[in-house]
Amino acid sequence: MNREGAKFAKKSAKISFFHLPHPRQVKKRIVSWRTWRLGGLDLYFSPWADGLMAASWQRIQRRMDPRGLITAMRTLTAVPVGGKDAKRFSDSLIWFPLVGLFLGLLFWATGTVWNWVIGKEWPGGGAVTILAAQILLTRALHMDGFADWADGLGGSRDRGTRLTIMRDHHLGAFGAIAVVFDFLAKFVVLERLLVSGGLPVIVPVAIISRAAMVSLMRNLPYARAGEGMARPFMDDLSRGQETAAKTITFCLCLFFGLLGVGLLAAGWIIVRILATSFRRGFGGITGDLLGATNEMMEILLLWFCACSGDLVLPYLGWEWLWR
């Protein structure tokens, strides 16, 4: 083995953080520096292909950095998580759908426990309990962005003035109305879903709403001239990271059957509409607009499921195929 081959072999023999063995380590017996013995099959690669595969493994390892999950949990939730943040905040965006899965399961579990302990005779209490869990687990971060968006949109027609109003920490009249509307809309929807048995839809909705933020950060410029909360996440955000987040979102929605796929398609349409609105009305995206996106996605998708009722809820899961 020459020096160049040894360098490629050493570089490609690293283990990813998932502890998945590199193809070179599947079988320790290597015929030559450019040959992999996989089972009983010899696979021959040139030095260029060998180095390309090693670089691909390093790219996957970087995108799926577990420290990105820590950053995503600290950003989207109030759950105390130990460990160091990712070197680049954009590395956490691939984990946003999984954090949405975590939150959605907790919200669904809260409503399920309420129905099991109290029963369906008092669905309003269950809806309030789920809303309280949402506030505690997310620090009402997205509701704050929803209120700031309403203040900016209703306070002026000028882009610069809107952004200035949104940066103001005081709650205006439009923001107060938006918060009340947010609570009332979710209360009515959750009460309906608790009675109809459609509460599990809250899980794919939570996944899609968090993934929507990744899509907007990738496809819209940052609206402010200076720094902001969303700016570090948008720096170095690549198309591959967005694609990975979308792929994870699609795979997770498949578990919820035809309704999960339908909600994903509806979410894509809503994201396109919001992207056009934010580009025209604000010149791009900000952290407040990302929070508003999450709230609007949840309200619209849950409202659709609650209004459709018996028409779409039977397609939650894949049991309808053999009924």
Mind listing the pLDDT tens digit for each residue in 91-138?
899 999 999 999 999 999 999 999 999 988 899 999 999 999 999 999
Q: Check residue 41 and give its pLDDT.
A: 47
Contacts of 193 (CB under 8 A, 6+ apart): 111, 199, 201, 202, 302, 305, 306
Q: Check residue 237 and give its pLDDT.
A: 85
Q: Check residue 286 and give its pLDDT.
A: 93
Nearest alpha-carbon partner for 253 in 286, 216, 321, 205: 205
Buried-state track 4-13, b at ≥16 Cβ within 10 A, e below 16: eeebbbeebe
Q: What's 35's DSSP letter?
A: E
| CA triple 171-175-176, angle to 5 deg | 85
List the structure tokens of 294: 């999450």
| Cα gap 302→66, rounded to integer Å | 31
Domain boundaries, the chain: 3-63, 89-322
| Cα gap 322→124, rounded to integer Å | 34
pTM: 0.80
Q: Check residue 235 and give its pLDDT.
A: 84
Low-confidence ranges of the chain (pLDDT < 50): 1, 5, 7-21, 25-34, 36-45, 56
Concatenated DSSP letters of 222-261? BSSSS--SSHHHHTT--HHHHHHHHHHHHHHHHTTHHHHH
Q: Check residue 37 and give its pLDDT.
A: 46
